Amino acid sequence: MRKGQIDFITMGCSKNLVDSEILMRQFEANGYHCTHDSEKIEGEIVVINTCGFIEDAKQESIDTILELVKAKEEGRIRKLFVMGCLSQRYQKELEEEIPQVDKYYGKFNYRQLLTDLGKSEVATCSGQRHLTTPSHYAYLKISEGCDRRCAYCAIPLITGRHVSRPEEDILQEVRTLVAEGVKEFQIIAQELTYYGVDIDGKQHIADLIRKMSDIEGVEWIRLHYAYPNKFPKELLTVMNERKNVCKYLDIALQHISDNMLSRMHRNVTKSETMDLISEIRKSVPGIYLRTTLMVGFPGETEKDFQELMDFVRWARFERMGAFAYSEEEGTYSALHYKDDVPSDVKQQRLDALMALQQDISAEMEAEKIGSSVRVIVDRKEQDYYIGRSEFSSPEVDPEILIKSDENLKIGSFYNVRITDSSEFDLYGEVI
């Protein structure tokens, strides 16, 4: 047990990661040494930032809490604190069921942990974070909460309504991170395209991205978690105008069948979705689209599923994730629909959908052989440097494995010729 050390464990999404990074920086300013997701817990204090999105994530968070409770009881750690989405929603239940935790915090009052340990927030650290990512890229959270009311989603029940961060706070954070060496920004929110609507009723995401793009040192800006309903077309103009705005868009569609879209409360139709995809591709030639799809939602028929498969064949998404529906307490679908698609059918549909995407991805990656791309190097593994082009987000998208006789610098850009491909990754050499 190392005195003065706090070990952070972050569960769930990149939005949680940002919260952990903010708190870690504050603790460091107060004299603590912080580690993140270390394989071995050595600090006297542990902070678990939990996820409460779906049942599997909730169970993983609970298992982690129980594991650290055991460590505390065995004297391997002195204090245990829990924050994040799970404790935001279930704080009272957790306090009753697992009282061995020293204190539970929600998603928005976690800075109180500083006060409870006799420390104070350091104003000069505003906008600073202890980056857990490689030092050349960072996630940038521009809002909290969500005003959408998708039938399956518990996020609004946890985080509340959409709240946009002040524009200048965001831009100052970008300047601060650039000064620390960050070149690439992953823009994240629960609903990216809603930015600004809560302030004056207008979407301001395009203006925000333009202003970020103007900051010297910003090399890549990548957009995550857009919503198809009322998608701001001006974003497409910005992508064409600005070289440092990646031709990459993460837009979760969930399904394509009108039956499913209506039951999911997505406020968009099949026709509108297909028109939007066509317009995006026409407006921004060469754009890479990432989407997320769901199978097994209550009432999904075989016809609905085949419609989804046909849509994926038509859209040919460059990047895609998928998951099977999981009933979440308190959501509209849990309260009003029967979870009537058998679990084995859900799994079969998920496997079929991902197999189709795997074939599409393999074809598209093979088409890149012989082309040249600008690549940022993330790390080195054995005989390869691992990098990404503007068309790949960290951790979730295909990477480029680079053979090089010269030493490449992590966080630097190189022009790479693609020499080979696999189902999901590319191979290349520096030109």
Residue 257's closest CA among 270, 273, 271? 270
What is the per-residue pLDDT for 380? 95
The chain-wide mean pLDDT, for the chain, equals: 96
- Say whether 13 counts as a known binding-site residue: yes
Identify the residue with better confidence: 405 or 270: 270
What is the per-residue pLDDT for 54? 86
- In this predicted structure, the answer to whether residue 229 has a pLDDT above a threshold of 90 is yes
Give percent of the chain with pLDDT exceeding 90. Answer: 91
- In this predicted structure, the answer to whether residue 254 has a pLDDT above a threshold of 90 is yes
- The DSSP code for 254 is B
- In this predicted structure, the answer to whether residue 128 has a pLDDT above a threshold of 90 is no
Regarding beta strands 372-381 and 384-388, do their DSSP bridges make them parallel or antiparallel, or are they unpaired? Answer: antiparallel
Q: In angstroms, rounded to a whole number, what is the distance separating the alpha carbons of residues 114 and 112?
A: 5
Q: How far is CA 233 from the centre of its chain?
A: 22
Average of pLDDT values for 370-375?
97
Contact 376, 218 (CB under 8 A): no
- Say whether 146 counts as a known binding-site residue: yes
Measure CA of the first residue to CA of the last residue in the chain; give whole Å.
Answer: 49
- In this predicted structure, the answer to whether residue 375 has a pLDDT above a threshold of 80 is yes
User: Which two tokens mark 298?
Assistant: 């209550």
DSSP helix/strand/coil, 295 = strand
With bands split at pLDDT 50, 70 and 90, how would you rate the model's confidence at 106? very high
- Specify the pTM: 0.93
With bands split at pLDDT 50, 70 and 90, how would you rate the model's confidence at 1? confident
- Say whether 246 counts as a known binding-site residue: no
**Interval 168-202: pLDDT, tens:** 999 999 999 999 999 999 999 999 999 999 999 99
Regarding beta strands 413-421 and 384-388, do their DSSP bridges make them parallel or antiparallel, or are they unpaired? Answer: unpaired
**Interval 328-351: pLDDT, tens:** 999 999 999 999 999 999 999 999
DSSP helix/strand/coil, 430 = strand
Contact 338, 325 (CB under 8 A): no
- Say whether 150 counts as a known binding-site residue: yes
Contact 107, 159 (CB under 8 A): yes
- In this predicted structure, the answer to whether residue 126 has a pLDDT above a threshold of 80 is no
With bands split at pLDDT 50, 70 and 90, how would you rate the model's confidence at 124? confident
Please compute, for residue 66, the number of CA atoms within 13 A of its CA located in the half-sphere on the CB side: 7
